[in-house]
């Protein structure tokens, strides 16, 4: 859960967010090195520690200014491309969850099982001290952890966005279009999200709540639904 003045990622609940955090730290380190190098050169020029002619003329400095940015882009681009393909990878999913956005609630359907479909509405503000305001729903989405999960999204009216920040997943729910994503939950718990697309007057009142449980408990939940 995010806290006041927090500037980093949420605690990871999926392997995908872990990789996103690693790439964030990697890119931030490169940007910090570039910033320090440029700042050092600018300060040195102010105090005439560098030869201005060397920085403005000559084949050597032109070669350096061409090679260094190219190497920097390579060190950023390669991990980025790897991460993009990792996000889009769809293997044999254990569970397929279909979610449909409405104004202003979500409908969930477990496509691999029969007669498991329900609507998820935000609870009113009369909550006890153990619940979170504007995040609790009447029907949580139950998913097994350490399992490959595929999510299919669409919309019945306008564009919505199904998002779980702690899992690093976000996908648009567009009317007349079927989008998909996959992710793995690496621990049990309750993870919250909200619609991330401005979809109307009650846009901020259609939260997402995922309850991650063990695969055995998930099978029991399926059987007893």
- Is the same domain home to 38 and 135? no
Q: Are 208 and 194 in contact (CB under 8 A)?
A: yes
- Is residue 109 assigned to a domain? yes
pLDDT at 223: 85
Average pLDDT over residues 5-32: 79
- Is the same domain home to 207 and 178? yes
- Is the same domain home to 220 and 110? yes
Least confident of 60-69, 149-158, 186-195, 198-207: 60-69
- Is the same domain home to 77 and 107? no
Is pLDDT at 3 greater than 60 in this prediction? no
Q: Are 142 and 95 in contact (CB under 8 A)?
A: no
What CATH number is associated with residue 206?
A: 2.60.40.420
Average pLDDT over residues 59-73: 82
DSSP of 168-180, one letter per residue?
A: TEEEEE-BT--EE
Average pLDDT over residues 9-26: 80
- Is the same domain home to 196 and 115? yes
- Is the same domain home to 75 and 103? no
pLDDT at 21: 83
Instruction: Give the list of residues 6+ apart from residue 120 with CB closer than 8 angstroms, or none.
Output: 105, 106, 107, 108, 137, 138, 139, 140, 141, 208, 209
Instruction: Report the predicted TM-score, pTM, of the whole model to 2 decimal places.
Output: 0.75
pLDDT at 154: 92
- Model confidence at 38, pLDDT cuts 50, 70, 90, reads confident
- pLDDT tens for residues 143-186? 998 888 899 999 998 999 999 888 888 888 999 888 888 888 88
Domain count, the chain: 2
Is pLDDT at 48 greater than 60 in this prediction? yes
Q: Are 162 and 101 in contact (CB under 8 A)?
A: yes
pLDDT at 138: 87
In the 8-state DSSP scheme, what is residue 11?
A: P
Q: Are 177 and 101 in contact (CB under 8 A)?
A: no
Domain endpoint, select from 64, 88, 112: 88
Is pLDDT at 5 greater than 60 in this prediction? no
Structure token pair of residue 10: 């949420």
pLDDT at 102: 92
Across the chain, mean pLDDT equals 83
- Is the same domain home to 122 and 188? yes
- Is residue 9 assigned to a domain? no
Instruction: Give the list of residues 6+ apart from residue 133 with CB closer than 8 angstroms, or none.
Output: 125, 127
Domain enclosing residue 183, as ranges: 95-224
- pLDDT tens for residues 84-140? 887 777 778 888 899 999 988 999 999 888 778 899 998 876 656 567 778 888 889
Query: What is the side-by-side strand order in the sheet with 207-213?
Result: 141-144, 207-213, 189-194
pLDDT above 90 coverage of the chain, percent: 16
Is pLDDT at 204 greater than 80 in this prediction? yes
Average pLDDT over residues 18-37: 87
């Amino acid at each position: 859960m995010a806290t006041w003045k927090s500037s980093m990622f949420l605690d990871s609940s999926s392997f995908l967010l872990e990789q996103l955090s690693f790439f964030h730290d990697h890119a931030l380190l490169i940007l910090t090195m570039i910033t320090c190098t440029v700042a050092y050169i600018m300060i040195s020029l102010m105090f005439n520690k560098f030869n201005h002619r060397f920085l403005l003329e000559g084949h050597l400095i032109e070669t350096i200014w061409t090679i260094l940015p190219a190497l920097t882009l390579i060190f950023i681009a390669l991990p980025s491309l790897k991460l993009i393909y990792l996000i889009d990878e769809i293997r044999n999913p254990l569970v397929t969850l279909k979610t449909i956005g409405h104004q202003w609630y979500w409908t969930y359907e477990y496509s691999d099982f029969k007669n498991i479909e329900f609507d998820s509405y935000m609870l009113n503000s009369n909550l006890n001290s153990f619940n979170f305001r504007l995040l609790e729903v009447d029907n949580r989405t139950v998913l097994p952890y350490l399992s490959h999960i595929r999510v299919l999204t669409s919309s019945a009216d306008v564009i919505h966005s199904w998002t779980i920040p702690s899992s690093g997943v976000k996908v648009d729910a567009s009317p007349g279009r079927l989008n998909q994503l996959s992710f793995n939950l690496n621990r049990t718990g309750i993870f919250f999200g909200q619609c991330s697309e401005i979809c109307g007057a009650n846009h901020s009142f259609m939260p997402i709540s995922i309850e991650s449980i063990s695969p055995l408990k998930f099978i029991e939940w399926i059987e007893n639904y």
